[in-house]
Chains A and B, each alone.
Chain A
Amino acid sequence: MMEQDKILRTLRGLMLAINLALMLYYSLIRGLTPLRVAAGFEARDFLAAAGQIPAPPWQMAILSLGLFVPLAALILGKDYLPSDRPALRATVFSAEILLAAAEVVSLDFYYRGFFLMVLADLVYTAQEKYGRVCTIAVLTLLYALADYSIASVLFPSIPVRQYLSYYTDAFHSWFSGVESLLTSLHVLLFVVFLVLLFLGQKAENTRVQQLNAQLQESYRQLQDYADKTEHMAELRERNRLAREIHDTLGHTLTGIIMTTDASLVLMDAAPDQAKKQLELANRTARDGLNDVRRSINALRPDALEHSDFAEALENTIEKFCLTTSAKVTYTQNAGKLDFAPDEEEAIYRVIQESLTNAVRHGQARNIEVCLDRAGDQLTITVRDDGMGMPAGKKEGFGLRHMRERLELLHGSLQYGNRPADQGSGFELTARLQPRQKGEENI
């Protein structure tokens, strides 16, 4: 790619040089001939043949050279144009087209190759899709209109052949020969430039397509890996659960079946033995239950995993206060909080869910959380000053899960908007009877 860039830039430099040479050629013809004609006392004939007064002899040289300098500066300096400034780029491109047009006008439309050079240059530089199409359209149109026979209708000027007719035939032929040679060479360079540019671009396109296909393939493989990994994680988890069930429940149930079988056999012959066997079965079942609980513990919430329950609750509320703008008042009147893990989890979830609801649905500013114990009964009250629950709204998933969770523990859930005399807000009360230590929830 770098090498091709170098070739294209060399071609562009050559085109610039040819245009400069042709520009100087026309300027010299235009500047010297009138002086020669006037010195040869042929001025009146010249005017009669021309039908118009030509501009001052050196005007073309001054104008065209004056325009050529900024045009060349734009063409050569454009490589340093930042690609992330579209407005600047569009301005520079437009300026280049305008300068080329001014150059062609200043040369009295004797030569319009400047449009070809700028076209080649802009097609090479302008990577913007629409910019490129516009540039090509505008420059092609300008090139077509700048034909001497068309343009001289609007901008009448003395044809260059009239200037040339004041030289001897030999000079005339030489001048015209060099002029056509340079013009043709310029067109040839233009064609070569475009062919090279488009060939290079085609190769570039193919390469991009190949890379794109490779990228797609890699992405698909990555997706496969991700699927497989997920599947394997699932399998591993299933295996673990199966192992867990096998190790705990399977073992326990097997033991229970064997001891109860034995007690059935011993029931009549040796009731004492049978009783022992049943006690054994009972103990085995309890041990099994503990094992199951331990297994379930592995799936408990993080907060409860490693810390004391009371501390976990406080941490959660504190964290909640920190993460939301609501103010939470936590009152704990329930004494020592020592519950079975499933009970802890239920209480934890009820409080967590209520706080979330109060802020999410009620936009509450102040929330009161109260834990009370009356005899065996634990009461959790969560009260907020939010908007409350709209009338007729059905119980959502959160509340339903809360209720199910409590009912599993023989508890209950009540909720509703606070009475009107206590201001707006929502109030939720959960009740449950925690089991005594050693008493299992069967």
Chain B
Amino acid sequence: MAALLGISVAAVAGMVAALCWPRDQTVLRVGVFSGSYWGTPNGSSYQVLDDAISRFEAAHPGITVEYESGIPVDEYSEWLAGKLLTGEEPDVFFILPDDFGLLAETGALAPLDWMMNGEKGLDRGIYYDACLQAGMYEGTQLALPYESAAMVMFVNRTLLEAYDIPMPENDWTWQDLYDICRTIAAAQPDSVQRDYGVYGYTWQNALYSNGSTLFSEDGKQCTLADSRVATAIQFVQELDSLDAGYTVTAQDFDTGHVAFRPFLFSEYRAYQPYPWRVKKYSSFVWDCLRMPAGPEGGNTSELHTVQVGISARTTHAELAWDLLCTLCADETTQGQLFLQSQGISPLRAVTENIDLLDRIFAETQGTSTFNSAAIGEIMRTAVTVPQFAAREQATAMAETAVNSALADNQSLTTSLATAQRQINLYLQNTG
């Protein structure tokens, strides 16, 4: 009896000792994807990270930071999920915008509030609200923003000039957009080779600039039946009806036959500088504008943010926090990132740094109406789409409902109210 007990106690003690034995060197692992999230060419995707790691290691002797390189962006979600499933997730990892809801809901992310408010804390004011908002889940900060990109409107200036239309200002409205599109549509001959007003502008792009979002912040309520949403849908329907009978394609835009197309700001930065400009959209001069303002909203853009979080199961929480700050709150890192990548820094101090902006815009065409002041304004007014695991499915349901309502010519208000009830039911059941 005593011998058996002794053996089992020794076995358990051995296991505990093996697990807790101090390693010679602390290794902090980082999960990161290669290339740019924005789908734009990026020659030196690990440069910023490597430099940040060198600075972190210099400031923390005895600590090594490692990462697995070569994971493409489109495989990163699955790679991270696999690591979480097998319990091998990195201490600190990058979070793609579409993954945040799932990671937050499954409890994979360590809450950061106690660190943020602690001794080595952060002032929340250094970030743009919408960027920080992207890492909030049920009132808790779970991730810090690394890089953002806002939706902007690409303008084919060559086309506008051809129709003698002046370039709109950055504070333009839906009405301005509609007027331009109508002017272009009215001038079209009924032939195959025609020009169009807008491509890819959806009711979802419109609703943010009409002061609304599709879901409540906690992801429990859908606001599809809101009058501002209905207005946005009707506006996009009116725009589409201008080109009735014709289908506009991306090809039409690329070949210079469409005046407007919404894009992420990162596209603008990727293709505006010299070498790339030749590669894409070379047949016309283009520029970008803020999104047009709806009757009840402003020139608001939807914001996409890549974030960095700490694993809820990390054994080096403090070190991970230091590394997180080096990546997301350090102006050197963020400045370097702003220069090299195509996103916008979530740090106010970096994004509104005149020197940096001058260096960035020096590479672009001198005639651009889009200047450094506009970027700050976009970031300050941008909104982050609420992130939650069921968002993808709920958004698809809303899109289906809107499409069928438009196709069947039913009363929009009634259809939206019915769809909202169904989506709310779904959200409550999955939440």
Residues in chain A within 8 A of chain B (CB atoms): 34-35, 37-39, 41, 43-44, 46-48, 50-57, 59, 62, 66, 69-70, 73-74, 76-78, 80-81
Contacts and interface: CB of A to CB of B under 8 A. Distances in A.
B69 interface: no
26 contacts: A34-B87, A35-B86, A38-B81, A38-B85, A38-B86, A41-B82, A44-B78, A47-B81, A47-B84, A47-B108, A48-B389, A50-B106, A51-B105, A52-B107, A53-B85, A53-B106, A54-B87, A66-B11, A66-B12, A66-B15, A69-B7, A69-B12, A73-B8, A76-B4, A77-B5, A80-B1
A23 to B, nearest CB: 16
B397 to A, nearest CB: 16
Interface in B1-37: 1, 4-5, 7-9, 11-12, 15
Contact of B81 (A35, A43, A56): A43
B77 interface: yes
B102 interface: yes
B360 interface: no
A77 B7 CA distance: 13
Contacts of B1: 73, 77-78, 80-81
Nearest to B312: A53
Interface residues of B, number: 27
A62 B389 contact: no
A43 B78 contact: yes
A30 to B, nearest CB: 11
Given A57-B86, A69-B11, A70-B12, A47 B106 contact: yes
- Dominant secondary structure of chain A at its interface with chain B: helix
B5 A44 contact: no
Contacts of A39: 82
B85 A43 contact: yes
Q: Which 9 A-B pairs have the closest CB atoms?
A: A56-B87, A38-B82, A43-B81, A77-B1, A73-B4, A43-B82, A70-B8, A44-B81, A34-B85
Given A76-B4, A77-B4, A81-B1, A47 B12 contact: no
Contacts of B81: 38, 43-44, 46-47
Contacts of B389: 48, 51
A219 B15 CA distance: 63
A53 B88 CA distance: 12
B78 A62 contact: no
A69 B1 CA distance: 13
Contacts of A53: 84-85, 106-108, 312-313
Contact of A70 (B5, B84, B85): B5
A46 B84 CA distance: 11
Contacts of B105: 51
A70 B3 CA distance: 11
A315 B313 CA distance: 94
A106 to B, nearest CB: 13
Contacts of B78: 41, 43-44
Contact of B85 (A54, A69, A73): A54
Contacts of A70: 5, 8-9, 12
Interface-centre pick from A43, A55, A81 (highest chain B CB count, 10 A) = A43
A205 to B, nearest CB: 29
A47 B87 CA distance: 12
A418 B215 CA distance: 114
A52 B4 contact: no
A80 B4 CA distance: 12
Interface-centre pick from A41, A78, A81 (highest chain B CB count, 10 A) = A41
A56 B81 CA distance: 13
Contacts of A43: 78, 81-82, 84-85
Interface string B53-87: 00000000000000000000000011001111111
A35 B5 CA distance: 34
Contacts of B312: 53
Given A53-B108, A69-B8, A44 B77 contact: yes
A78 B15 CA distance: 25
A69 B6 CA distance: 11
Given A35-B86, A52-B107, A54-B87, 7 more contacts: A38-B82, A38-B85, A66-B11, A66-B12, A70-B5, A77-B4, A78-B1
Contacts of B313: 53
A246 B40 CA distance: 144
Contacts of B106: 47, 50-53
Nearest to B99: A44
Interface in B280-317: 312-313
Interface-centre pick from A37, A55, A56, A80 (highest chain B CB count, 10 A) = A56
A50 B108 CA distance: 12
A57 B82 CA distance: 11
B9 A37 contact: no
B47 to A, nearest CB: 28
Contact of A47 (B5, B9, B15, B85): B85
Contacts of B108: 47, 53
Interface-centre pick from B8, B12, B105, B389 (highest chain A CB count, 10 A) = B8
A66 B10 CA distance: 11
A16 to B, nearest CB: 14
